[in-house]
Amino acid sequence: MVNLVTGGAGFLGSHLCDRLLERGQEVICLDNFFTGRRSNVVHLLGNPKFELIRHDVVDPFKLEVDRIYNLACPASPVHYQYNPIKTAKTSAMGAINCLGLAKRVGARILQASTSEVYGDPEVHPQPEEYRGNVNPIGLRACYDEGKRYAETLFFDYHRENKVDIRVVRIFNTFGPRMLADDGRVVSNFIVQALKGEDLTVYGDGSQTRSFCYVDDLLEGMIGVMEQEKTVGPVNLGNPNEFTIKELAQRVLEKVGSSSKLIENPLPADDPTQRKPDISLAKEILDWTPKVELEEGLDRTIPHFRALLES
Ligand code: NAD
Ligand code: UDP
């Protein structure tokens, strides 16, 4: 089995490459290194079943593969808003190029979609049937609408060209190999706590998120790829919900830091709540996250400590 992982040098992508190789499969990792790093996959470079290609998914490519995991897209607001037009192109043209390849070679293809397709949700928790509340002209739209359009393309290629698709909607996931300057809340808080800096809570910190540990997420993602019951979309995330202030407190306790919390302005269109309804994933995969926030932090903090020390 030959897998193509676009965005394979990023946080989730590099862990996915590890997992697929552990299963004895071949992996082609394709990445333009915008937010990905060679260091995330350097340990795989000597593996004869692993291949690394520097390429941008916006430009077409030809490969012979059995499975395509389409993860290429910056995921943190800081990075996806850096060049919003490029972000929209990456989602749209990346999906078109990957789907075209899947159609040509008969590969099964999975899209890494996101809870952001639900926008600032009025339904809580969010089931897959909920159609979302996204501002189409806001600062987050390049990402949210880009991912929504990619889902549209996936389902049209499925209906029109019988492409064998899978779509997962990923909720906030964290773990080792997130970038220290990624801007996402878990990495920001850990790095700030380790440096003894104030923790930057945006708004009053009453907004909620549900945090999934990377190992759980990948088990679900590969599970969805390999099951035959549904093409999706399937929500993947940890349904345990925390306010951002609660997260900050947990990080301070775990790091053993006496840093203070300071309130920064809330970014525009920041969703007020988010929690996945994972009934479908439970039903089709018997999947449920095993690593809770505290244990996930215990596994993630040493990564950032080592990063800062080096
Ligand atoms: P990440 O930024 O670490 O990884 C994205 C990877 O895609 C990077 O390696 C980057 O260099 C690469 N990339 C970006 N644009 C590209 C392009 N045009 N061509 C080729 N490669 C490109 O982010 P991540 O957290 O690992 O997210 C991976 C995927 O999962 C993304 O599609 C993201 O939208 C999705 N997702 C992640 C989360 C999460 O909480 N981590 C939540 C929802 C969805
Ligand atoms: N956030 C925060 N401080 C930070 C970074 C983020 O309070 O230093 C908040 C952010 O406003 C949002 C939540 O944490 O409400 C999650 O942000 P993240 O960027 O990690 O993910 P997303 O908003 O895409 O869920």
Q: Is the distance from the beta carbon of residue 185 to the nearest atom of ligand 1 less than 6 Å?
A: no
pLDDT in tens, 21-70: 999 999 999 999 999 999 999 999 999 999 999 999 999 999 999 999 99
Q: What is the DSSP letter of 119?
A: B
d(CA 38, CA 114): 25
- 116 Cβ neighbours under 8 A, 6+ residues apart: 134, 140, 143, 144, 147, 271
Q: Which of 80, 143, 157, 213 is catalytic?
A: 143
For the stretch 127-164, pLDDT in tens is 999 999 999 999 999 999 999 999 999 999 999 999 99
Distance 217 CA to ligand 2 centre (A): 19
Cα-to-chain-centroid distance, residue 68: 16
DSSP letter, residue 101: H
Q: How many CB atoms lie within 10 A of CB 204?
A: 11
The answer to whether the CB of 242 falls within 8 A of the CB of 297 is no
CA–centroid distance, residue 184 to ligand 2 (Å):
6
- Ligand 1 pocket member 218 (CB < 6 A): no
> What structural domains and CATH numbers belong to the chain?
2-174+211-236 (3.40.50.720), 185-207+240-274+290-309 (3.90.25.10)
Cα 190 to ligand 2 centre (Å): 13
Distance CA 202, CA 270 (A): 9
pLDDT of residue 310: 86
- Does the predicted model carry a pTM greater than 0.85? yes
DSSP helix/strand/coil, 35: coil
CA quadruple 263, 192, 218, 139: dihedral, nearest 10: 40
DSSP E strands in 240-279: the ranges are: 241-243, 261-264
Give me the residue label for tokens 């509340």.
Answer: 133
Decide whether any atom of ligand 1 lies within 6 Å of the 9 Cβ. Answer: yes
Atom of ligand 2 at shortest range from CA of 271: 15
Q: Is position 149 annotated as part of the catalytic site?
A: no
Please list the residues that pair with 168 across neighbouring strands.
Answer: 112, 234
CA torsion, points 183, 188, 191, 195, in degrees to nearest 10? 100
pLDDT tens track, the chain, 310 positions: 999 999 999 999 999 999 999 999 999 999 999 999 999 999 999 999 999 999 999 999 999 999 999 999 999 999 999 999 999 999 999 999 999 999 999 999 999 999 999 999 999 999 999 999 999 999 999 999 999 999 999 999 999 999 999 999 999 999 999 999 989 999 999 999 999 999 999 999 999 999 999 999 999 999 999 999 999 999 999 999 999 999 999 999 999 999 999 999 999 889 999 999 999 999 999 999 999 999 999 999 999 999 999 8
